[in-house]
């Protein structure tokens, strides 16, 4: 029932590394993994400096800042009450 056929060079299956679909399926994720490793290496070697968002104020500078904001606070309150 089953006959063995001689395969011509054109009919022989190509090796796995010559299949284009294999490179599409394996190549994309491989590139992502390499990029992830490169990004992680850069992040570990050259970390960003820590930036403090709030300035530490002493008691004197806090009072000066409060005095500097008095005109703005007065104007805000004046606008909120309708100018009365």
Domain count, the chain: 1
**pLDDT for res 38:** 98
Which pTM does this prediction carry?
0.47
Any domain includes 42: yes
Q: What is the pLDDT along the chain (84 residues), one digit of tens a residue?
A: 556 666 666 678 888 888 889 999 999 999 999 999 999 999 999 999 988 776 665 556 666 777 777 787 777 777 777 766
Any domain includes 1: no
Any domain includes 64: yes
Structural domain of 66: 16-48+57-80
The DSSP annotation for the chain comes to: -----PPPTTTSPPPGGG-HHHHHHHHHHHHHHHHHHHHHHHHHHSPPPP--SSPPPPHHHHHHHHHHTHHHHHHHHHHHTT--
């Amino acid at each position: 029932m089953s006959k063995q056929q001689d395969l011509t060079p054109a009919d022989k299956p190509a090796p796995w590394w010559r299949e284009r679909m294999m490179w599409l399926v394996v190549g994309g994720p491989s590139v992502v993994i390499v990029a992830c490793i490169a990004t992680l290496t850069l992040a570990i070697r050259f970390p960003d400096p820590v930036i403090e968002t709030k300035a530490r104020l002493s008691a004197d500078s806090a009072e000066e800042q409060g005095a500097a904001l008095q005109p703005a606070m007065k104007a805000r309150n004046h606008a909120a009450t309708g100018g009365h």
